[in-house]
Amino acid sequence: MADGSPLVSAAWLKDNLKAPDLRVVDASWFPSWTASAGAGRQSYDRGHIPGAVYFDIDEISDTESNLPHMMPDSVKFSSRVRKLGIGDGNRVVVYDANDFFASARVWWMFRVMGHKDVYVLNGGLRAWEAEGGELEDLPPVITGGRHFTPRVRSDLIKSREQVAAASASGDTPILDARPAGRFAGTEKEPRPDLPSGHIPGSGNVPSGKLVGADGKLVSKEQINALLGDHADRPVVASCGSGVSAAVIALALAEIGNWDVAVYDGSWSEWASHPESEIATASA
């Protein structure tokens, strides 16, 4: 575990997997336009890191919202993670089987709830297997029962109204993690009911540029080349539905900015709201 980093390596996790205070979380999730419903859970059931519990971002969410996987309130979050055997004093390592979809999101969720001792396995399941890590296909025996005390950090989550104000003032950078064509409005959104384009005044940092071919976060030097101007200032990250935005937050934490906020509703909310202005490359 590197000092000052939100990441751990597969080698570190292998060496520390049986530490009594460690909890491993599988956050595998696949967008609906790339896989069938439940694909993340199916990936977990096929094989996961021994002892890992499954965190479903579609279930541990505000299911009363008409927007996808919105952040739940602190009562629901604490209840669900307690059932997963996670509580105060636990070190949490999150991974997924899909190149930071959605391990970065779950890392950010724990931080919103005030849990600081949370990390992401760099390279995810692929890195674990490359390190010779074993997999199991049986559900773990959940032990512990510690209380999880939420200490909500409202500064790490932004509403549409707050983002609209930031867009109008230009005081806080808004960084969009979607692919360039969707940001520019030249390619269609995967959600067919939404137009493409972007929040006025926002910038585009596709999350794919922050993840290398090996599924690991790119080097600090590469992150600085893409995001160095934002290493020591407030930032709001956005994307399609608040998942890949967290990759920007994770990358900025890797170079020292731990206070990046995520626009939870992201483009799913912005583009469907009648009062939202939509910018495109042609405009």
Catalytic annotation, residues: 239
- Whole-number mean pLDDT of the chain? 95
pLDDT of residue 68: 95
Q: Are residues 103 and 11 in the same domain?
A: yes
Q: Are residues 17 and 145 in the same domain?
A: yes
Distance CA 265, CA 45 (A): 29
> Range of 104's domain?
7-152
pLDDT bin (cut points 50, 70, 90) of residue 283 is: low
Count of the separate structural domains present in the chain? 2
Q: Are residues 128 and 248 in the same domain?
A: no
Boundary (domain end) residue, out of 117, 152, 187:
152
pLDDT of residue 168: 97
- The CATH number covering residue 242 comes to 3.40.250.10
Whole-number percent of the chain with pLDDT over 70: 98
Inside any domain, residue 279: no
Q: Are residues 39 and 80 in the same domain?
A: yes
pLDDT at 2 over 60: no
Q: What's the mean pLDDT in 129-141?
A: 95
Boundary (domain end) residue, out of 98, 124, 152:
152
Inside any domain, residue 250: yes
Inside any domain, residue 277: no
Q: Are residues 15 and 143 in the same domain?
A: yes
Boundary (domain end) residue, out of 152, 185, 211:
152
Q: Are residues 120 and 180 in the same domain?
A: no
Q: Are residues 23 and 138 in the same domain?
A: yes
Q: Are residues 191 and 133 in the same domain?
A: no
Q: What's the mean pLDDT in 30-39?
A: 88
pLDDT of residue 143: 73
- For residue range 114-126, what is the model confidence (pLDDT) as tens digits? 999 999 999 999 9
pLDDT of residue 56: 97
pLDDT of residue 144: 63
pLDDT of residue 145: 67
Q: Are residues 19 and 112 in the same domain?
A: yes
Q: What's the mean pLDDT in 62-75?
A: 97
Q: Contacts from 213-219 at CB under 8 Å and sequence distance 24+?
A: 214/123, 214/126, 214/127, 215/99, 215/100, 215/123, 215/124, 215/126, 215/127, 216/122, 216/123, 216/127, 217/7, 217/100, 217/122, 217/250, 217/251, 217/254, 218/251
Q: Which of 44-48, 139-143, 160-164, 238-242 has the lowest mean pLDDT?
A: 139-143
Q: Are residues 72 and 23 in the same domain?
A: yes
Q: Are residues 175 and 191 in the same domain?
A: yes
* DSSP secondary structure of 251-263: HHHHTT----EEE
Q: Are residues 209 and 104 in the same domain?
A: no
Give the pair of three-digit tokens for residue 121: 């396995």
pLDDT of residue 48: 98
